[in-house]
Chain A
Amino acid sequence: MPFPPRIARAITTALGGRSVRERAERLYYRDEGHGYDRFGLHPDFVALGDVIGKPGYEWYFRVESHGAENIPKTGPGILAANHSGTLPMDGAMLWVDVLRNTDPPRCSRPLADYFVPSLPFVSTLFARCGVVGGSRGNAQALLEAGELLMIFPEGVPGIGKPFAQRYQLQHWTKGHCELAIRHRAPVIPIGIVGAEEQMPQIARIPVKGPVPYIPIPATLVPLPTKYHIHYGEPIPLHEEFSPDDADDPEIVRNAAARVKAAVQALLERGLSERKGIFR
């Protein structure tokens, strides 16, 4: 970042209070000696991310968490969630939710699309908070280090889905299941309810550049919809299959279908349980 960790620490101490600082101090991560992990994560910036996310998490989207006990306390895991909302607020809220609902605190590692690390400032802040470029090698290294990956198998088509297709899962990629089987990690299905209505998209303009398109939303800012994050029971693909099974397309395809069905079921449960878009 253009500023060192001590400035991030000063900001979090001033704005976040003791609880944020304590969370950051107890954070599990592998320090490479200078306070950063190999991918650039630094706990002081994780705390800063926590503070930046607080208004959205507590006041604007009023996130409610269900079933967070399903997040593994230690060891590798893959968080697989639906993706939506034009702006990736769902990723940010899920990131804060995992941080606040794990003890000791765990910083989930979102796998971002390739264009994200090319964005100035954003790429650096994201990296300090644990985001990594979505290459297979990065994912493999993180799982082998016992980290918690956050993956949105719908990818960019998910975040850009039209309002009429809200809560309908788009093309569901399979790489997360291959990773889970090969690198011995459970998959935790997650249904995020509320994000799909936050910023209805009415059109998009394809562009050539670091981002694939410019979205045309119906609102200039996300609506204050209420978020409900539902964590499902871990799917133990790593116990059901051997690492070599990750090469079997049929097994991987079926596993991805299971995860997709589990996420869809969580969404339907969440939709039936909520009292309204804003409640």
Chain B
Amino acid sequence: MISVLVTGATTTVGERFVRSLVADTRVRHVLAVAREPPEQALPFSHGNRLTYLSVDLARSRHVRELLFGPARDLGVEVVVHLGQHRSGFGKGRKVHAANVEALRSILDLADRHPTIRRLVLKSYAVAYKVSLELPILVREDHPLNLSPKAPQYIRDRVEADLTACARMGLSSFETVVLRCAEALGPGTGSQIYDYLDAPVAFRPLGFDPMVNVATVEDMVVALEKATHGSGEGVFNIPGYDTLPLSEATRKWGTPSIPLPGGFLRPAYNLRHRLTGSEFEYGLNRNRLHIGLVLDGTRAREVLGYVPRHPIDWPIGGPVADPALDDSPD
């Protein structure tokens, strides 16, 4: 029986993960934290196995008070860090503090914490570099996007990822980094979801890259396996569905308009200004032309994670994957 601290507990993935932990008989207690006040958070009953706290992790003092207060008192052994700023347009010092400095504080404090023995970071496939010279099928040793010209959304995620990786083998606790495919769903921060869920998708004329997308259910399964597993490392967490972007828009029922590359940025910028759309073209330019598919071999072999939940596409429903039907759990 373990106690688990979950940050970012009010995100779509976080809420579902907390729900699964509360139902998990291997878990003694769940300490869920997010910025939202308690009355707006976690709308489900949980008996006495869940504690929710409103904490601003961007403030290091709050992190200290959390880890050496309630987390120590509850004997938290595993920290699952899901808290990241979700907007593709988020910029500035406060966003960086939420995306990177919060994790840095957790790592620093966890190193001298009496009970924490494992930290799981939900990282993102967007951290990977996408380029013509690199493979489409991405393993964990694929280069990360270290370009100083990359948007802050990407730079922060890469920095957080590397900050956690730099602790591996050097800390008193185990570190697991899960580089996850985008989970399609409202509130997940998925750029592909924002792309698909718009009234019209502008796509690059003449290009149709492969994408891999996941469900929230599979992300929760991956987090569960990382929480209860042993050992440390970096793992790609792919989703069940791998398909061309055009097929995804068709199955989502989104009309798409092909535009020459030079028109895409102005079109998306205009749409953002007019409708507040969260899709940021600058984050996705290469992915819309070249594509990226996560190779989940390592997660399957070490964590036992296999994506099993296909997306229930608005048009056509979920698909069965013959290649995965016989895979072991």
- Is the beta-carbon distance between A2 and B246 smaller than 8 angstroms? yes
Chain B hits for A141, CB < 8 A: 135, 137, 295
Chain B hits for A2, CB < 8 A: 206, 208, 246, 258
Give the Cβ gap from A98 to chain B, nearest Cβ, in Å: 22
A102: Cβ under 8 A from any B Cβ? no
Q: Is the interface of A mostly helix, strand, loop or mixed?
A: loop
Residue of A nearest to B240 (CB): A33
Give residues of chain A (95-129) contacting chain B, Cβ–Cβ below 8 Å: 114-115, 117-124, 127
Interface size band for A? 20 to 34
- Is the beta-carbon distance between B323 and A114 smaller than 8 angstroms? no
Give residues of chain B (160-180) contacting chain A, Cβ–Cβ below 8 Å: none
A40: Cβ under 8 A from any B Cβ? yes
- The segment out of B30-38, B46-54, B110-118, B314-322 that lies at the interface is B314-322
Contacts A1-B246, A31-B321, A32-B242 given: A114-B132 contact, CB under 8 Å?
A: yes
- Choose from A123, A127, A135, A140 the contact partner of B133 (Cβ within 8 Å): A135
Residue of A nearest to B250 (CB): A4
Residue of A nearest to B206 (CB): A120
A132: Cβ under 8 A from any B Cβ? yes
Instruction: Kindly name the residue among B142, B206, B321, B324 whose own CB sees the greatest number of chain A CB atoms within 10 A.
Output: B206
- Is the beta-carbon distance between A31 and B206 smaller than 8 angstroms? no
- Is the beta-carbon distance between A114 and B137 smaller than 8 angstroms? no
Q: Is the interface of B mostly helix, strand, loop or mixed?
A: loop
Cβ contacts A15-41/B at 8 Å (1 or 0 each): 000000000000000111110101110
- Is the beta-carbon distance between A123 and B206 smaller than 8 angstroms? yes
Give residues of chain A (25-64) contacting chain B, Cβ–Cβ below 8 Å: 30-34, 36, 38-40
- Choose from B132, B208, B243 the contact partner of A32 (Cβ within 8 Å): B243
- Is the beta-carbon distance between A34 and B208 smaller than 8 angstroms? no
Contacts A30-B323, A121-B206, A124-B208 given: A36-B244 contact, CB under 8 Å?
A: yes
A-B contact pairs, 17 of them (CB 8 A): A1-B246, A2-B206, A2-B246, A4-B246, A32-B321, A33-B243, A33-B319, A36-B242, A38-B293, A40-B208, A124-B207, A127-B208, A135-B135, A136-B135, A137-B135, A137-B137, A138-B135
